[in-house]
Homo-oligomer: A and B are copies of this chain.
C-alpha cells in the first residue's frame, strides 16, 4: 500500500463570492456578536494521509477501466462527506468521518459486473449522485470496518426523448437534463433547490420534490420507469404510462436510499414548456392569516410560497434601496398588512386569482425569487465562513395541525438555544401544497462549535414534528440522521435490502 500526499477538499458548492448586502451583514453581526470582516474558514478540509489499497485496485481492475477508478484522497473525501450541517460543522472542526477506500465511475455496461464482483469480495458499496444530501446520506457505516467503495453515477448519462417521456441515466443533474429538454421545447417540471447538482438517481432514492410540485407532482408522480441494479440482477419495470401489475421496481426504488441497489436509468414524464408564466406577490397581515387563506384552496398554482414574519423581514433586509423599501413598507401599512407575511405565487399558462385576505404587491418579488431560487445554499456558505451554522428541517403536515406544529417548532428552537446558551434565529415558509395539508420548511442559523448542540436542536424539532402529526421529512429523505425515526418503514427496507449496500 502506498501513501498519498496531503491535499485539501473544499466542501462548498458554488463558493464564488456570494454577495451579502450591508443591512443583512450588520443584522447578523449584531445578532451573533461577530465581525463580518473576519472569515474564519474557507470550506477547505485537509485530506488525511490515506492509503491506496493495492489489493482493492486489482479487484476493481477486473471489472472496470483504470481511468474509472480513483484513489485520490480529495475525491474519496468528496464521496464520503455530504452537505448536511452536521457534516459541514464536523468538517470545520476537523472531525472527519470514515473515508471510502476508492471511488469508481462505471458506465452503464460496467455497473452490474461491478456490483457482482464487489459482492463476491464482500466489499461494501455507497452510491454517489450529486453529493447534495443534507441528511447524512453519504455517510458509510462500514468505512474502517472492511472495504467500502463509492459508486459515482456521473457516467450514467444515456438519454432518449420520446412522446411525453424521457428515458435517461441516473447520473444526469437537474440542470443538465432540463437544458436538453428545453432545446426540444419540453420540461420535466422538477426544480429542487439542489437543481444544479442533484441527480435523477438521488431524487428517486430520497423521494425528493421540486419547487413546482403543485403542478408537476412529487418525484413519484414524475417517474414511470426505473432500472435498478442489484447484486442479484438488473430489475426493471415494463415501461408504461401507468400499471397495476403488482409491487413495481419503482415502488421499491422510491425512497430506497441507496440500500436496495443502484438506480441506473429512469423514465420521466415531460411536458411542453409553459407558454407564459404569471407572477404575483401578496402580503398577509400574519403568517397564520396566510395559512388560513391558502388552506381554503382546492387547486394550487405552479409555485406558492408563504414566508413567515421573520423570513419576510429577511427579504426586506436584503433590499439595498432603502427609499424604495420605505415607500413599499408604507404602502403595506396603509393596507393594514404591514410587512407581515409574504406570498409568492407563480402560475403557468393561466392567471390565478388573488387569495382571500391578501394585499397585492406586484410581480417583481416573484421574479426575484425565481431568479435566485437556487442561491440560498451559497448564502449558507458565507455563513459557514463566518463561523455560523445554518441548517434546515422540513416536514409535511395536515391543515388541522400546521399552525400548532409551526408554533411548537419555533418554541422548541428557541427553548433549545436558550438552554444551550447560544445565539440563533429561525424562520419558515410553506411551499408544497396538497388537499390535506402542506410542507413546511424551517431555516435556522446558530453560532456554535459543538456538533452536539446542533444535533440536540434538530432532534428536538423533529420530535415536535412527529408529536404534531408531521412526517419525519417531506422531501429531504432519511439519510443516516433520521433512520432512527423511520419505525415501521425500516422493516420493509430491511426485507428489500441488497446486503452489500450500505445499511
Q: Is the CB of B269 within 8 A of A436?
A: yes
Q: Which residues in window 215-233 of A have CB below 8 A to B?
A: 218, 220-221, 224, 232-233
1/0 per residue, CB under 8 A from B, across A265-291: the answer is 000011110000000000000000000
Which B residues are CB-close (under 8 A) to A209?
Answer: 242, 244
Which B residues are CB-close (under 8 A) to A485?
Answer: 245
Q: A162-B398, A242-B396, A248-B255 are in contact. Are A489 and B237 (CB under 8 A)?
A: yes
Residue of B nearest to A470 (CB): B240
Which B residues are CB-close (under 8 A) to A434?
Answer: 164, 241-242, 269
Determine how close the nearest CB of chain B comes to the CB of A88; give it in whole angstroms.
21
Which B residues are CB-close (under 8 A) to A195?
Answer: none
Determine how close the nearest CB of chain B comes to the CB of A49; give it in whole angstroms.
37
Q: A221-B221, A249-B488, A435-B270 are in contact. Are A207 and B164 (CB under 8 A)?
A: no
Q: Which residues in window 246-271 of A have CB below 8 A to B?
A: 246-249, 251-252, 254-257, 260, 269-271
CA distance A434 to B242 in the complex (A): 8
Q: Is the CB of B243 within 8 A of A247?
A: no
Which B residues are CB-close (under 8 A) to A432?
Answer: 242
Copies in the complex: 2
Which B residues are CB-close (under 8 A) to A476?
Answer: 244
Which B residues are CB-close (under 8 A) to A240?
Answer: 395-398, 437, 469-471, 474
Which B residues are CB-close (under 8 A) to A163?
Answer: 295, 398-400, 436-437
Q: Is the CB of A164 within 8 A of B435?
A: yes
Determine how close the nearest CB of chain B comes to the CB of A306; give it in whole angstroms.
16
Which B residues are CB-close (under 8 A) to A395?
Answer: 240
CA distance A252 to B395 in the complex (A): 22
CA distance A256 to B246 in the complex (A): 6
Cβ of A206 under 8 Å from chain B: yes
Q: Is the CB of B489 within 8 A of A246?
A: yes
Determine how close the nearest CB of chain B comes to the CB of A197; give it in whole angstroms.
18
Residue among A397, A437, A438 facing the most chain B CB atoms (10 A cut-off) = A437
Residue among A220, A245, A474 facing the most chain B CB atoms (10 A cut-off) = A245
Cβ of A496 under 8 Å from chain B: yes
CA distance A161 to B257 in the complex (A): 33
Q: A164-B399, A236-B488, A252-B247 are in contact. Are A436 and B241 (CB under 8 A)?
A: yes
Cβ of A127 under 8 Å from chain B: no
Number of interface residues of A (CB under 8 A): 78
Q: Is the CB of A487 within 8 A of B251?
A: no
Which B residues are CB-close (under 8 A) to A232?
Answer: 491
Q: Is the CB of A246 within 8 A of B241?
A: no
The 8 Å CB contact of A472, one of B245, B251, B256, B269, is: B245
Residue among A239, A295, A397 facing the most chain B CB atoms (10 A cut-off) = A239
The 8 Å CB contact of A251, one of B224, B251, B436, B482, is: B251
1/0 per residue, CB under 8 A from B, across A475-503: the answer is 11110001001111111110110000000
Q: Is the CB of A245 within 8 A of B473?
A: yes
Residue of B nearest to A232 (CB): B491
Q: A249-B489, A435-B164, A488-B235 are in contact. Are A243 and B496 (CB under 8 A)?
A: no
17 residue pairs bridging A and B, Cβ less than 8 Å apart: A163-B295, A164-B436, A209-B244, A240-B397, A240-B398, A240-B469, A241-B438, A244-B473, A245-B255, A245-B473, A246-B477, A246-B486, A247-B255, A251-B252, A269-B435, A271-B298, A496-B496
Beyond A241-B398, A251-B255, 9 additional pairs, beta carbon < 8 A: A237-B488, A238-B487, A241-B438, A243-B396, A244-B255, A246-B255, A247-B489, A247-B492, A269-B435
Q: Which are the 5 A-B pairs with shortest beta-carbon distances? A: A164-B436, A207-B244, A240-B471, A241-B437, A243-B471
